[in-house]
Structure 1
Amino acid sequence: MSQSRLILAAAVIALVTGCASPNPYDNQGQEQAPRQGMSKTAKYGGLGALAGAAAGAAIDHNNRGKGALIGAAVVGAASAGYGYYVDRQEAELRRSMEGTGVQVERQGDNIQLIMPGNITFATDSSDIASNFYTPLNNLANSFKQFNQNSIEILGHTDSTGSRAHNMDLSQRRAQSVANYLLAQGIDGSRVSTAGLGPDRPIASNADQAGRSQNRRVEINLKPLPQVQQPTQQY
């Protein structure tokens, strides 16, 4: 078989293997990944396979086809593993946040939770609103169940008032969310906070509707360093 065909076969084999193999994250979470279309597990496994095939072919100059097969199998399976974990976590978060007003968005292996100001805090306050406790309790349960992510909490404000005041308010709001999650048993080593004030608006501050969107708290979930896939040597 020609080297080019070996490299193509390597990618296909790794993709299939990555999706079919027992997954180390099977025991975390109860929700199954969505069934519509190609799952993110398959997609990331396939991308990893292609990257591994290229790396293996480049490193093994004497037998590029063999190097591609090894690289694709190892890297493809590893990439699919964490993608599978995030599939399950995303599905559980969407279920538990349904009807709360919290938006769940996903980019690659990162998940972002957007909590608008109308459910989080009263105007010019960092005290958690009463109707925000239920979403936070659900998040705490999810974060304990899925514990392979860092939890970055970002506070945002609109542009009303001085920048210094808004920077302080946004930090206090982010810290209030962090303190509540820590009180529910979340590992503090996973949690970080930052107040960004009015610096990252997602809508215009020229009208009330836009300012309401900008007053928000975001939580970014990213893989912890120890669960990042290591660089493989071939």
Structure 2
Amino acid sequence: MSSTGLEGRSVVVTGAGSGIGRAAALGFAREGAKVVVADLRRDGAEETVEAIEADGGAARAVVGDLSDQGVVDEVVGTALETFGGLDVLVNNAGIMDRLSAVGDTDDAEWERVVRVNLTAPFLLTRAALPHMLEAGGGAIVFTASEASLRGSAAGAAYTASKHGVVGLVKSLAVMYRDKGIRANAIAPGGTATAIQVEAEPGAHGPGVVGAYAGNIGRISTAEEQAAGILFLASDAASNINGVVLPVDNGWAAV
């Protein structure tokens, strides 16, 4: 039996087609959990499902844009119908901005980043909550960022979206702690993933942020970030609620 208490639990992981999300999905499956793999990219989601099933685990893929309410409903419905409930939600999917300063951030960049990084997790959490409350509890883990702790790690849109994620975590923790719901986040530092930064050459924002790049320290693996997610979702963290856990080799301490 798993010492984490995750065995047999129904877990949703977003952005699970690659990077931290895939590492987390694989980690949950190794602990005996049943995993809904949600991602925008079909090939990535299916590859993660195949890897879990090849190792004897149970997983299902849901493909689509998680800021679309219909996709959100499909994700939650798949967990309920296929695995009998929804015990753990991992709001991991996210995108970077162009490191743009406020004065250089156009409407499209702002709206896209906030929609993916903040609105989509809100929609999915809202859809999952009634089922967790009916079951008597659940764990929700968000992937925040070092940019949720400071202003020097990304552009205006990404920084604001990840600060918003922290606010959402804390609100959930306060509002639902007496209902058996725990909400926490990891705050990754520099991590080796496929996430891309398409900075505008010569723009003000990238030049300023770049000056702080030396504080990042060692680049972590996706598996190291996933370990933080699994811990916060597990019974080992049963009295941890409303916490933002830096997984950053001490960057937050600089």
TM-score, normalised with respect to structure 2: 0.32
- Structure (1 or 2) with the larger CA radius of gyration: 1
TM-score, normalised with respect to structure 1: 0.34
